Amino acid sequence: MNASRMRDNVERWLIHEGLKFEDIKNPENTFQILVKHAGPAGVPVEIFEPKAQQGVLVIGSKVNMKNNQIARYLGFSEDEKAKFEKKVADYCYTIQAINKNTTEDGKRKIGVYVVLDKEGNINQQELFDAMDRVSEMHEKTARFLMKTF
């Protein structure tokens, strides 16, 4: 499935489900779409195809750390930061999420992702199942951060 066809399919499926979305410009991705309220938790979900991995669809959401959590994190030594990130990665592994710790707009965020890469099998149902999973993973990760950090 070529990039523009994948993008067209994703947009058509989102419109069919009545979901509001917007394009995001990201030079690392062939296309990137932000769905403002997705899944059971109604969280923002990004859907994109990385330029480095044509034919792969990534569905993800970022959990914003609270200001007090960010302040604590910033006070950590490099060793403590590494331990915290390993703890988050271990937790994400238990909920079958690919995770990435990032800083955007001055905020620490934990991204949780699902990757769809069976090129012929990326369909509307798979996309919405993945969006629901990401929504649930977002909520579980947010609760994990509240409890453990």
Q: Mean pLDDT over residues 29-37, rounded? A: 96
**pLDDT at 104 (0 to 100):** 87
Q: So where are the chain's domains? A: 3-148
- Beta-carbon contacts of 88 under 8 Å, excluding residues fewer than 6 positions away, are 99, 101, 110, 141, 144, 145
- pTM of the complete model: 0.90
pLDDT tens readout for residues 57-82: 999 999 999 999 999 999 999 999 99
- Which has the closest alpha carbon to 113: 92, 99, 127, 95? 99
Pairing of strands 107-116, 57-64: antiparallel
Is residue 106's pLDDT more than 90? no
Domain 3-148 has CATH 3.30.70.270: no
Name the average pLDDT for the chain: 92
Residue with tokens 């034919």: 55
